[in-house]
Structure 1
Amino acid sequence: MVHRIIKEAGTMYKIPELLAPAGTLECIRAAINGGADAVYFGGKAFNARRNAGNMDEKEMTEAVALCRQYGVKVYVTLNILIKDEEFEDLVKDLNFLAGLDIDGLIVQDLGLIFLLQKYFPDFRLQTSTQGSVYGLEGALFFERLGFMRVVLPREMPISEAAMIAEKTKVELKIFCHGALCYAYSGQCLMSSMIGGRSGNRGLCAQPCRKKYQLRDADNRLIKEGYLLSMSDLNIKERLDEVAQAGIDSLKIEGRMKSPEYVYAVTRAYRETLDAVDGEGKTPSITEKELAQVFNRSFTDGRLFGDMQVINDVVGRNRGILAGHVIGCENGRLLIEALPDTAFSKGDGLSFGEDSEKGMRIDSLFDLKGRPLASEKPGIKVKVPSRFRVPAGTPVYRNHDARLTRRLKSESQSAKPAGQQTVCFRLKLALGAPAEVTAEAGEQVVTRVSDITPAAAQNLPLTCETLSGQFERLGGTGYQFGGLDADIEPGIFLSKGELNALRREILEALDAEQAEEKPTPVVFSLDRELPAKPEVQRPLLSLEPADKAGFQALCGLAVDELVLPVQDLSRPQDCEAPIARAHECGKRVLLAFPRIMDTAASARLKSNLDAFCGLNHDGILLKNYEVLSLFQSKPVYKEADQSFNLLNALSMKQLREWQVEGGVLSPELSAAEAAVLAKCSAVSCVLPVYGRQELMVSANCVYNCADKQCENCRRYRGWAALIDERGAAFPLRKDTDNIIHIYNGDVLLLKEELKRQKYIDKWRIYATDEGHEALADVVSYYRNALDNGVFGSVPGRTGVRYTKGNFKRGVE
């Protein structure tokens, strides 16, 4: 239960809600037994862990009933991007969820937000981490929108989170334990572009857990390993500071993890939170056991000042150090266990710091080759192995069979939710219609029947006879909770009449409960979407990666230029570039940084009037922070592709937010983009050329030993990540030390654009092209717009072109 206590004079502590993951009913029980205050789970579709077990409607109904039985809150995840053709099925799911007693929905898609606020206003909404809120202004935006809770980014320090808690009323959630994404959540397209499996659609293939080389612009090797693989978050020892910060909810990651993992992590955090609350007991889950269930090495993250949270040595669960190899003979490894470690059959082992090789212990022997009957710590053992491992290699145990058996037993003691209990009251008198009342939970129904008791000829009616008939509830969905009868002596009713009374009152109870459920929403996407005329000639727009050389771009044959604003404290720096662009007949949109924390937003806010006073033609919005600040300003606003605009309802939501244009998601296929644009409520911008940004991250891939990240001026410019197949991904670190990773192949749309009749603007993205190469690209598209002919593809040495997801879309 979330509550406040005064720990010491002048300090307010808030014990946050403990929110546990649940991919299955077994995980629900594990979370309850572990001491969770709340759980989050998804259905079979529309959630960001589509490869988790997930639950069908029957299982979700049982899960909610079980949570209610134990006083645990329930949040349902609908946190993926939605395709237009999926909204009918989504509305069916929402009608089902509206009839459940859940405590909120976790969402990211703008179209879904529109749908929920217009047609399902009773749902309480929370942002998903995929929703990409970066600071105070983003939290305030969703507070004004009526959301109950906002999740803060895993890159945010606890001091900033505490400040946001002081300045907002909306509830705040942070991650406390589990896997960390390399990129800012919701801003990763790497899995999508490589294999069509979209992280925004719940199917991330985890390319960040693969091996890479990092090479500089001259192809010299800088480093190699699991360069994007993050350590696992663990802030269990910092919960006292979290309580001081005023955070409302702590989220454990892991809907694809086992029930044993859910139980162990939840129990460990429950016990620590109770200790912070002054209710400390001897921990039942040790630090070693917490590390054993799953870890890629632990960090307390950027939340508590760890600026280098990449573990480039290992990309998978390594478990904990258990011993060392001391030899190998006749197909068996000789292993010496650590003094506190006893190996068991069924244990999983991995070898070396990188844990590249691994095995399961199928049998154990002593050094004389005799089977071990008992498990003893610290001894030397032989285990059969298909491969040799050099002596001295550290041995890690990544699965502890004995611990797993114990956790499995402890995690499943919560009984399945029983049937609803019903209690009866009867008033029976000679010659008077029978009066029957049924009570189930808060529902009470009374009916006066046509059945009338007669005078008893032999055996008068008794309470025992009544109970015997009313207990017969098989197949009704109820269980008998008791009967209270007011019976006039000497009356009689047959068993058939009693059964009829029972059926009659239960049917009335069912009907009453059915009436309580909201009327299903009938939704038609076509009715919501406007008709739009064909666009005769789209504008041609150009966005550079930074403002260097911006004025030289003014001579190119584009209609519009995007001016990146790098110093939020100096709006005057924009005056000359804007003036030059206007002299050349170009529109100019200002683009503020894609990632803006609270401090950056504050700098922009203090100069907001000055930026509004510049003679520009609009703002390209890259985050909710900038949208929050400019929403009410009378200026053209365009939402960039970072808003993940995948459906037509999302464009209607933009209109509700006073945004007049939107850049279509690069995860749309050509057919999907055409359908969306045809019925868009705002103007549509389509990326047609450039290196597509796959990841944007605060985690420096260089991972230097000196760790002077705040003041770092190293490694500026371009480098490349090389994957295990030899594919290269250009990479740059910007002036704010944010890492940008791009697709190795360059997007180039051409003839297929002729079928896009409703696109208002084509956008070219300039990254690493020289001025001459970029001029060729602009001429290529200018000619297509002016003359309807694309001509020869602009040639660049060593560059391959791609249609990206425009050809295939994503799953």
Structure 2
Amino acid sequence: MNNHIKAELLAPAGNAEGFYGAIHAGADAVYLAGNKFGARAYAENFTAEELVRCIRYAHLLGRKIYLTVNTLLKESEFAGLYEYLYPFCEAGLDAVIVQDLGVLKFIREHFPDCKLHASTQMTLCGSWGASLLQSMGVSRIVPARELSLKELTVLKQNTGLEIEAFIHGAMCYCYSGQCLFSSILGGRSGNRGRCAQPCRLPYSVITDGVKSKNCYPLSLKDMCTIEHIPRLTEAGIDSFKIEGRMKRPEYTAGATALYRKYIDRYYELRENRGLEEAAEIYRVKKTDWKCLTSLYIRSSVQDGYYFKHNGRDMITLDSPAYSGNEEAVLAGIRERHLAEALKLPVRMKAVFQTGRPAALTIQRAEVSVSVSSDVVQRAERHPVTEENIRKQLTRLGDSIFRAESVEIDVSGDCFYPLKQINELRRRAVAELEERLLSENGYGKAVTCRKAELSENKAPGNRKGFRHPGEGSPEKGFVFAVRTIPQLEAVAEETGSGMQNIPVRLYVDGDLLVQEWETVCRLCGSASFSGGIYAALPYILRESDRSYLTQLYEKVQESSLFRGFLVRSMDGLGFVMQREKAIPCRGDAGLYVWNRSALREMEDMLEGFCLPYELRASEQKALLNGLPCEKVVYGRIPMMITANCLLKTTDRCRNHTEGPRRAASERQRSKSSDRLVLKDRLDKEFPVLVNCDHCMNIIYNSVPLSLHRELSGWRECVDLRMDFTLESPEEVKHLITSLRSNMAFPESEYTTGHEKRGVE
């Protein structure tokens, strides 16, 4: 039997009504946002005053509050972060959920008593990244929703970190934190809480030249796991998280109440009947199932990725629209959980005896306080009555208490002003609240440091790297390739007139594993004075462990390779955990949006890539620190997905149906690994189907091309070209254009966020 502490039920709240509904329905904790830095910018959210009141209210009930600061912050926004967080941390905020590594560093240094939870926006898929974040002060992680229950169990066992996992609500098609679709197309960034949800729009899929009908291939069904509570519980998940800060309070309260009911029921069954029998007899009533699936649900539900890697049955192909809510169900939820505030019953005992101080005792369960006041006088005309006293004492108003019983011992001829009775009650209530807060673990002094502490380092084993040739003003070119023909073209071009310019090369890790000898021969015949690096996959999961070990050993043993290009916290964590220090460079998706994030990464990376979503002026605020490069040409990866468009609209062509396909399968034509996603405006988005890691990469319909902006960057950064779908001829032409200050040969292109940035 799993003997871990009872799992926490964590509910969302987009406004105060949703918060009280979640608490009244039985949530152990609530996650919410203030009016800044939350990944649901269009939710109503909370004012500072509301949020402080909610924190105190929750703590009086023994519940917890987690604040979402789970967006990426620009350098200019850090000036207001301390003042924003201070009142919440002073009020005893239980934790902050973060995405930005700079924010993580800031909170760790300025609010060291506040717990740090790593958001699902960090795209954590393995114990490598989780362990690295643990060394940075993180106590809990919210892993990627794409992980299986088995993977979560292994993650828990390997790290000992608290695991917070989604159990109900909407599902993103892309790995959270890696989606740039809404950002690049419309300027509304998911990394800033402003996603326009292009995944809920219709598309067709072109496979081998055959076009599917228009459907909704990127729209996942909502998750509902209430029938799997026994299995989730025994897997050791610490916190069961309900999605939905943008949804109505009735949804929050209704979903919370039903999950509360069945979580409690399973624990009761397990205690009384034993583990095996409890799991066998656990059932969800049909009426409860109907109620739950009628609350703001897309057409039908599924159980997420807990028991499958992907599948057509997970998609709302016909319609992404929400089903209608039954008004009778909503009315019932409002009556039970939203109509009245939750009050704690207290017992009151008052003594008003002539010649003695007035006294009042208030007791809540085992906690009681007693207060006294002025001596009770003898009445000259109108003595105070028991009814007068009772009326004043039970006027508990906006407090969290209600009088369950009132015992009054009063002299028949005494006088005591009603105003002083009210003051006696207020004092007693205030003292009882403080005692309850103390009993629930709150009320201690909070450490807040406003002074700059940027030189402080996180704990843990860190390996410092330095840029080769650091201090040299000379900048060069960087190329990334994923195919042998592209590598051949780059090798040829770099061997003809570019030897004296610092050049760095990134070779796709999958290509290295599959074509090691050919890659080494080609790399050995060319000159890359800045070093050759193996590019790790965007996503790394437990199933990639042997792949990573194989790739690491090849790179470590080869004199040709300098290090790794890492694209995730898991990739960085994997390399950092190796005994031998091998240099790493961070890709654009390992987000560095501010100088605090730069300082957090400077001992782990020898360089980084400027992010896609900052405008040029915002990117330049990050220069003169850790050496950096900038992508000036390439297809922007808009989505990295565990679900597969090929499997959804046609069939899985990996006969092993797993994250590894046989060598014979890998040798087949690479053209069949490519699809096209076509939107309602006839824009075509190339899709790379990677069966080695069982994921899709959806690229932008046109390449990023900054050929008109090069003059402003040549002396500042290394200029990088990413080759993904290009032919050898296109690669050669592009390199020639870059070297000769010519326009890149593209009739259609985008400059991305170079000038506009994101909100």
Higher mean C-alpha displacement, 183-192 vs 473-482: 473-482
1:663 maps to which of 609, 624, 639: 609
Aligned counterpart, 1:172: 163
For 1:303, the aligned partner's letter is Y
Secondary structure in structure 2 of the residue aligned to 1:112 = helix
Distance 2:18 2:414 in 1: 53
Aligned counterpart, 2:745: 795
Aligned counterpart, 1:544: 481
8 Å CA contact retained: 1:229, 1:311: yes
Mapping of 1:275-294 within 5 angstroms? 275-279=265-269, 283=285, 285-293=287-295, 294=297
Shift of 1:308: 0.7
Mapping of 1:131-146 within 5 angstroms? 131-146=122-137
Secondary structure in structure 2 of the residue aligned to 1:562 = strand
2:308 maps to which of 288, 305, 317: 305
Distance 1:29 1:480 in 2: 17
**1:41-66 deviations in whole A, cap 9, x for unaligned?**
11122111111121111221232233
8 Å CA contact retained: 2:354, 2:377: no
Aligned counterpart, 2:697: 740
8 Å CA contact retained: 1:196, 1:810: yes
Aligned counterpart, 1:36: 27
Shift of 1:705: 5.7
For 1:651, the aligned partner's letter is L
Distance 1:123 1:648 in 2: 22
Aligned counterpart, 1:221: 211
Aligned counterpart, 2:241: 251
Higher helix share: 2
Aligned counterpart, 1:261: 251
Distance 2:622 2:672 in 1: 39
**1:719-764 deviations in whole A, cap 9, x for unaligned?**
3211111222122212423211111122111343433487332111
For 1:56, the aligned partner's letter is T
1:598 maps to which of 542, 554, 566: 542
Aligned counterpart, 1:805: 753
Secondary structure in structure 2 of the residue aligned to 1:277 = helix
Aligned counterpart, 1:376: none
For 1:781, the aligned partner's letter is L
Shift of 1:133: 0.6
Shift of 1:526: 9.9
Q: Does 1:522 align with 2:450?
A: yes
Distance 2:749 2:236 in 1: 50
Distance 1:274 1:151 in 2: 23
1:24 maps to which of 15, 38, 42: 15
Distance 2:303 2:416 in 1: 71
Shift of 1:287: 1.8
8 Å CA contact retained: 1:239, 1:272: yes
Cα root mean square deviation, aligned: 4.6
Aligned counterpart, 2:672: 716
* Cα gap change, 1:470 to 1:411, in 2 (>3 Å): closer
Shift of 1:590: 1.6
Q: Does 1:78 align with 2:69?
A: yes
Q: Does 1:201 align with 2:192?
A: yes
* Cα gap change, 1:427 to 1:141, in 2 (>3 Å): farther
Aligned counterpart, 2:581: 634
Mapping of 1:499-648 within 5 angstroms? 518=446, 521-522=449-450, 536-546=473-483, 549-556=486-493, 557=498, 559-566=503-510, 573=517, 576-577=520-521, 579-580=523-524, 583=527, 585=529, 587-605=531-549, 608-615=552-559, 616-631=561-576, 633-648=580-595
8 Å CA contact retained: 1:156, 1:302: yes
Larger Rg: 1
8 Å CA contact retained: 1:44, 1:55: yes
Distance 1:474 1:268 in 2: 31
2:318 maps to which of 307, 314, 317: 314
* Cα gap change, 1:669 to 1:420, in 2 (>3 Å): farther
Mapping of 1:135-534 within 5 angstroms? 135-216=126-207, 219-279=209-269, 283=285, 285-293=287-295, 294-305=297-308, 307-309=310-312, 310-319=314-323, 398-413=324-339, 415=341, 518=446, 521-522=449-450
Higher strand share: 1
Shift of 1:210: 0.4
* Cα gap change, 1:136 to 1:152, in 2 (>3 Å): same
Secondary structure in structure 1 of the residue aligned to 2:218 = coil
8 Å CA contact retained: 1:622, 1:639: yes
Q: Which runs of 5+ in 2 are unaligned?
A: 270-281, 458-466
Distance 1:420 1:94 in 2: 34
**1:428-464 deviations in whole A, cap 9, x for unaligned?**
999xxx9999999999999999xx9999998999999
* Cα gap change, 1:571 to 1:120, in 2 (>3 Å): farther
* Cα gap change, 1:126 to 1:230, in 2 (>3 Å): same
* Cα gap change, 1:58 to 1:314, in 2 (>3 Å): farther
For 2:317, the aligned partner's letter is V
For 2:320, the aligned partner's letter is R
8 Å CA contact retained: 2:182, 2:196: yes
Mapping of 1:56-95 within 5 angstroms? 56-95=47-86
Higher mean C-alpha displacement, 475-484 vs 185-194: 475-484
For 2:290, the aligned partner's letter is K
Distance 1:476 1:225 in 2: 52
Secondary structure in structure 2 of the residue aligned to 1:722 = strand
Mapping of 1:6-21 within 5 angstroms? 6=1, 15-21=6-12
Q: TM-score, normalised by structure 1?
A: 0.75
Shift of 1:508: 12
For 2:690, the aligned partner's letter is D
Shift of 1:635: 3.3
For 1:402, the aligned partner's letter is A
Distance 1:507 1:410 in 2: 28
Higher mean C-alpha displacement, 204-213 vs 416-425: 416-425
Secondary structure in structure 1 of the residue aligned to 2:620 = helix
* Cα gap change, 1:265 to 1:724, in 2 (>3 Å): same
Secondary structure in structure 1 of the residue aligned to 2:582 = coil
For 2:479, the aligned partner's letter is L
Distance 1:292 1:560 in 2: 55
For 2:254, the aligned partner's letter is A
Distance 2:368 2:292 in 1: 47
Determine what percentage of the aligned residue pairs are the same residue: 27
Aligned counterpart, 2:687: 731
For 2:46, the aligned partner's letter is M
8 Å CA contact retained: 1:677, 1:758: no
Secondary structure in structure 2 of the residue aligned to 1:19 = strand
* Cα gap change, 1:249 to 1:520, in 2 (>3 Å): closer
Higher mean C-alpha displacement, 67-76 vs 155-164: 67-76
8 Å CA contact retained: 2:344, 2:402: no
8 Å CA contact retained: 1:535, 1:757: no
Higher mean C-alpha displacement, 55-64 vs 247-256: 55-64
Higher mean C-alpha displacement, 20-29 vs 200-209: 20-29
8 Å CA contact retained: 1:41, 1:76: yes
* Cα gap change, 1:612 to 1:259, in 2 (>3 Å): same
Higher mean C-alpha displacement, 291-300 vs 685-694: 291-300
8 Å CA contact retained: 2:634, 2:703: yes
Aligned counterpart, 1:361: none
Shift of 1:614: 2.4
* Cα gap change, 1:606 to 1:507, in 2 (>3 Å): same
* Cα gap change, 1:63 to 1:404, in 2 (>3 Å): same
8 Å CA contact retained: 1:438, 1:509: no
Shift of 1:182: 1.0
Shift of 1:226: 0.7
* Cα gap change, 1:191 to 1:509, in 2 (>3 Å): same
Higher mean C-alpha displacement, 496-505 vs 660-669: 496-505
Distance 2:582 2:713 in 1: 27
For 1:241, the aligned partner's letter is R
* Cα gap change, 1:225 to 1:28, in 2 (>3 Å): same
